[in-house]
A and B are shown apart, each in its own frame.
Chain A
Amino acid sequence: MMLRRMDSMMVSFEMTETLLAVALTLAAFVCLFDRHLLRATLCFIGFALLLTLAWWRLATPWLALAELLLGAIVSGASLLFALGVLPTGAALKPRHDRFPVPLSHGVTRLALSVLWLVLMAAGVRHALPAMALSPSEEPLLIAAGVWVACALGAFALHRHLLRRLLAFNVLGSGVFVLLAGMAGPMLAAQLLILVGLCIAALGTLLGALLIRRLYHLEGLEALDPDIDKTVAQ
């Protein structure tokens, strides 16, 4: 779709797409960086729904359907389950991520994210030389690059398991959009995305189950509860 429109070679400003991209990016940011877990999760569901819209806009209805089913419903439900919201019961008690973030971690992750953004940009630029002429034509592509960089940074930064799972999901969506955006309407790309979506949903489901189980068994919210202790030694 995007590529097809490129034939016209005229500089146009796709309002809807841009809005979508901005909304998605905002949702992604909230999802990634809000310490309130439920809010972040709900934001993610919103993100997934918006993304369904985006797939629809990009004329890949199958992917839209898959995103709706797998991304919004399955993943969302899984995450809510992990939070203990869905079937009411033993919820994750502190609904906030209360792990402190040392400054050095934050700075390094930020730096990494920025560099990754550069990396994304370079990749897109070299893969699609034509895009350099009209970067504004591909707001979703640009947004997806931002998601990827931020999600990776968030994944590396966060310790709370649910937030890492969220980061993974955002990262996945970003990658899929990038893939779709760069490869265009190829069936191969769609298949890749479909597989990716399935796997992401399965992974999220599995992760959510594990998070619940771990919390249930050990009261754990992070992978390395004793990291500070061991590093200090």
Chain B
Amino acid sequence: MTTLLFVLALLWPLAVAALTLAARLSPRPEKAPGVASDLSLRFSRVFRPFSWLWVSASWPALLLAVSGEARWQWEGFMLGGLWELTPLTRPWLLFTALLWTLAAVHAKGYFKGDLTADFKDETLPERSASAEKRRGTFVLALFWPLAFAGNALLILAQDIASFYFGFALMTFAAYPLVVQAATQEAWRGGRVYLILAVMGEAFILAGLLWAAGAAETLTLSGVREGIASADAGIWMALLLFVGFGVKAGVVGLHVWLPLAHPVAPAPASAVLSGAMIKAGLLGWINVLPLGDVSTQGGLVALGQGILAVGLIAAFAAALYGVWQRHPKAVLAYSSISQMGMLTALVGVGLVTPEVWSLLWPAVALFAAHHALAKGALFLGTSISEHSPRWPVPLLWALLALPGLSLTGALAAGMVSKWSFKSALYEAEHALLIKLLTFAAIGTAALMSVALWRQWQRRQVGGSDGYQQGGWLLALAAALTAPLWLPLPQASPVPPLKEWWGLVWPLLAGVFMVACAVALLHRRRGRLPPAGDAWWLYAVAARALYRPLAQVGERLARMKQACVELALKWERRAMAAVQRCLFAEAWLRHHVGGLMMALALVLAALLMWEGGDFWPGR
């Protein structure tokens, strides 16, 4: 039964994608009225994009996650497949699949207009532009289940090959999700996403190869042990950290997030920022020897570095993000900031391994909560742009709720904050706790800014029941995450005396934003662009590329010159040969003389050789 669920969880999304494609390729009634039979018409209706069947792509995985821990092994798959739901991956799969499901429901409403456009009469004047967008939407619908399949596979996988497969599948299948809008910005965002993704894949591949080769293993647990015991473990770990860090938005490698998220449609942003970004985190947890008490000094140093990087991300992203104009960009920076905190926690896992056993449930909870809350926030951006005719305070309170939860001021957010704080207390990381608390100020500020930017762009009408339903469900799931997330032990509710410690950053953050808005809203300065360091990278890359291109050009010219020289020599040699061959006529003329000469030479040589040249012995 579980095996069947495994298979279904992984294959059903693929099947959905295939059926969606098939429905698209089957003859369409309006194009070929005579050809399409009733059956094929029904087929294309049932399997059209954003049908319920399409939404159901993530259900088997959800069911699998709910049904409990399981394990399935099949040697025939790639390098030997091993899939397992561990105490860690079960909640992970659960929140991931849930978010995908809810985002899909939201998308069902979100793309309704595009969907009808899909079957619209093709003689519209603005055909080209709309056709492109429509196609983008279809491609999104096609790749959505594929990206989910990748995401589910990487969570389930315990062997390297299928993990890496899932990771790559998710990464590349997410590209159409980013570029759906087919605008200039979308293409740019997509490009940045892809460039960094490829770099990330390269680092991951290098790290995995190294670690797996050194440890002669094919499983992720083997990689962990290998890194822990290898001499060069720190370098392997560094490679892997950087590789997954691209996905997890580690500072410096995060530049794709603020560029790709705002351009993607809301449901895609939700899964990108909620579920997929966590794949990087899961990657770290899977391959870094977190909680391994035998870790060597090098790895501890790396852990400290990770810790620092994470904290920098947590603060810097907040500081930069508040200046963003687009709410989704602000949210993207918030994701960077939140992932920074998670990065710091991973660093703790390396620095003080003994605390990891306490810490990881907190990390899982944090991840789940952040995923769903961020999902709700992103979905909320589409709600605010097409807000339903609900009472305004209610709507905006609902829109603000996940943000509040993220700052740790209430509900699941508070629980998750407390659960890692309590773990950190045990490890006596007082400074870290303080810093994380300060980071929460940033979160609060970001949330306030995001809400404010949403307010500025609010529009009424045009939203759909599915859109709102998906959003509301995500919100509810986010707020109640500790209740349903299957963690080993129930997450502790913070004692009352700690409550203030969790709430004050919110107030501080909101206050600061309010002050800043009050002070600055008259000023018309240029706001820093989204994607911060990307622009620096681009300049640097261009500066680096130019001399390289020149070198290449020079080499090409040199090669050309060599070829020409060779050709010239060849021509000359041929001319010389031609001249030489005139000697053939000379030889023809002088056969008689040559014959005489040959006889003489032979005779002379033989006599000389015989030592009897002339005239006698």
Which residue of chain B has its CB nearest to the CB of A154? B592
Q: Are A108 and B593 in contact (CB under 8 A)?
A: yes
B120 interfacial contact with A, CB 8 Å: no
Residues on the A chain within 8 Å of B600, using CB:
112, 115-116, 119
CA distance A152 to B616 in the complex (A): 26
Smallest CB separation, A113 vs chain B (Å): 8
CA distance A227 to B589 in the complex (A): 7
A212 interfacial contact with B, CB 8 Å: no
Which residue of chain A has its CB nearest to the CB of B593? A156
B500 interfacial contact with A, CB 8 Å: no
Name the interface residues of B555-600: CB closer than 8 Å to any CB of A.
582, 585-586, 588-590, 592-593, 595-597, 599-600
A125 interfacial contact with B, CB 8 Å: yes
Contact flags (1/0) for A90-123 with B, using CB distance below 8 Å? 0000000000000000001100110110110010
Residues on the A chain within 8 Å of B77, using CB:
none
Residues on the B chain within 8 Å of A88, using CB:
none
CA distance A155 to B590 in the complex (A): 10
B614 interfacial contact with A, CB 8 Å: yes
Q: Are B596 and A230 in contact (CB under 8 A)?
A: no
Q: Are A122 and B593 in contact (CB under 8 A)?
A: no
Which residue of chain B has its CB nearest to the CB of A105? B593
Residues on the A chain within 8 Å of B603, using CB:
119, 122
User: Do A230 and B593 contact each other (CB < 8 Å), given the known contacts A119-B600, A122-B614?
Assistant: no
A231 interfacial contact with B, CB 8 Å: yes
A153 interfacial contact with B, CB 8 Å: yes
User: Do A125 and B615 contact each other (CB < 8 Å), given the known contacts A156-B590, A224-B589, A230-B582?
Assistant: yes
Q: How large, as a class, is the contact surface on chain B?
A: 10 to 19
Residues on the B chain within 8 Å of A108, using CB:
593
CA distance A227 to B591 in the complex (A): 13
A8 interfacial contact with B, CB 8 Å: no
CA distance A178 to B214 in the complex (A): 91
Q: Are B596 and A152 in contact (CB under 8 A)?
A: yes
Smallest CB separation, B270 vs chain A (Å): 86
Smallest CB separation, B557 vs chain A (Å): 39
Smallest CB separation, B139 vs chain A (Å): 72
Which residue of chain A has its CB nearest to the CB of B584? A230
Contact flags (1/0) for A120-134 with B, using CB distance below 8 Å? 001001000000000
Smallest CB separation, B612 vs chain A (Å): 9
Q: Are A112 and B596 in contact (CB under 8 A)?
A: yes
Which residue of chain A has its CB nearest to the CB of B614? A122
Q: A231: which of B582, B592, B614 is its contact (CB, 8 Å)? A: B582
Residues on the A chain within 8 Å of B589, using CB:
223-224, 227, 231
Q: Are B586 and A231 in contact (CB under 8 A)?
A: yes
Residues on the B chain within 8 Å of A125, using CB:
615-616
CA distance A155 to B594 in the complex (A): 11
Q: Are A156 and B585 in contact (CB under 8 A)?
A: no
Q: Are B585 and A231 in contact (CB under 8 A)?
A: yes
Q: How large, as a class, is the contact surface on chain A?
A: 20 to 34
Q: A156: which of B582, B586, B592, B614 is its contact (CB, 8 Å)? A: B592
Contact flags (1/0) for B16-54 with A, using CB distance below 8 Å? 000000000000000000000000000000000000000
Residues on the A chain within 8 Å of B599, using CB:
116, 119
Residues on the A chain within 8 Å of B585, using CB:
224, 226-227, 230-231
Which residue of chain B has its CB nearest to the CB of A229? B585
Smallest CB separation, A135 vs chain B (Å): 13
Residues on the A chain within 8 Å of B588, using CB:
223-224, 227
Which residue of chain A has its CB nearest to the CB of B616? A125
Residue from the set B582, B589, B615 with the largest chain A CB neighbour count within 10 Å: B589
Residues on the A chain within 8 Å of B582, using CB:
230-231, 233
Q: Are B597 and A112 in contact (CB under 8 A)?
A: yes
Which residue of chain A has its CB nearest to the CB of B603? A119
Smallest CB separation, B340 vs chain A (Å): 86
Name the interface residues of B344-402: CB closer than 8 Å to any CB of A.
none
CA distance A223 to B592 in the complex (A): 13
Name the interface residues of A179-233: CB closer than 8 Å to any CB of B.
223-224, 226-227, 230-231, 233
CA distance A227 to B588 in the complex (A): 9
Smallest CB separation, A120 vs chain B (Å): 11
Residues on the B chain within 8 Å of A116, using CB:
596, 599-600
Residues on the A chain within 8 Å of B614, using CB:
118, 122
Residues on the B chain within 8 Å of A153, using CB:
596
Residues on the A chain within 8 Å of B586, using CB:
227, 230-231
Which residue of chain B has its CB nearest to the CB of A113? B596
Smallest CB separation, B593 vs chain A (Å): 4
Smallest CB separation, A192 vs chain B (Å): 19
Residues on the B chain within 8 Å of A156, using CB:
590, 592-593, 595-596
CA distance A12 to B597 in the complex (A): 37
CA distance A75 to B421 in the complex (A): 129
CA distance A116 to B604 in the complex (A): 11
Residues on the B chain within 8 Å of A231, using CB:
582, 585-586, 589
Q: Are B615 and A109 in contact (CB under 8 A)?
A: no
Residues on the A chain within 8 Å of B616, using CB:
125
Q: B592: which of A115, A122, A152, A227 is its contact (CB, 8 Å)? A: A152
Which residue of chain B has its CB nearest to the CB of A227? B589
CA distance A113 to B599 in the complex (A): 12
Smallest CB separation, B604 vs chain A (Å): 9
Smallest CB separation, B242 vs chain A (Å): 73
Residues on the A chain within 8 Å of B595, using CB:
156
Residues on the A chain within 8 Å of B590, using CB:
156
Which residue of chain A has its CB nearest to the CB of B591? A156
Which residue of chain A has its CB nearest to the CB of B594? A156
CA distance A224 to B600 in the complex (A): 25
Residues on the A chain within 8 Å of B592, using CB:
152, 155-157
Residues on the B chain within 8 Å of A119, using CB:
599-600, 603
Smallest CB separation, B613 vs chain A (Å): 9
Residues on the A chain within 8 Å of B596, using CB:
112-113, 115-116, 152-153, 156
CA distance A230 to B589 in the complex (A): 11
CA distance A197 to B595 in the complex (A): 22
Which residue of chain A has its CB nearest to the CB of B583? A231
Residues on the B chain within 8 Å of A233, using CB:
582
Which residue of chain A has its CB nearest to the CB of B592? A156
Name the interface residues of A144-159: CB closer than 8 Å to any CB of B.
152-153, 155-157
Smallest CB separation, A142 vs chain B (Å): 16
Q: B593: which of A112, A118, A224, A226 is its contact (CB, 8 Å)? A: A112
Which residues of A pack against B, CB within 8 Å? 108-109, 112-113, 115-116, 118-119, 122, 125, 152-153, 155-157, 223-224, 226-227, 230-231, 233
In order of increasing CB-CB distance, the 6 nearest A-B pairs are A156-B592, A156-B593, A230-B585, A112-B596, A227-B589, A155-B592
Given contacts A116-B599, A125-B615, 11 further A-B contacts (CB under 8 A): A113-B596, A122-B603, A156-B592, A156-B595, A156-B596, A157-B592, A157-B593, A224-B588, A227-B585, A230-B585, A231-B589
Can you report 20 residue pairs joining A to B where beta carbons are below 8 Å apart?
Answer: A112-B593, A112-B596, A112-B600, A115-B596, A116-B596, A119-B599, A122-B607, A122-B614, A122-B615, A125-B615, A125-B616, A155-B592, A156-B592, A157-B593, A223-B588, A224-B589, A227-B588, A230-B582, A231-B586, A231-B589
Which residues of B pack against A, CB within 8 Å? 582, 585-586, 588-590, 592-593, 595-597, 599-600, 603, 607, 614-616
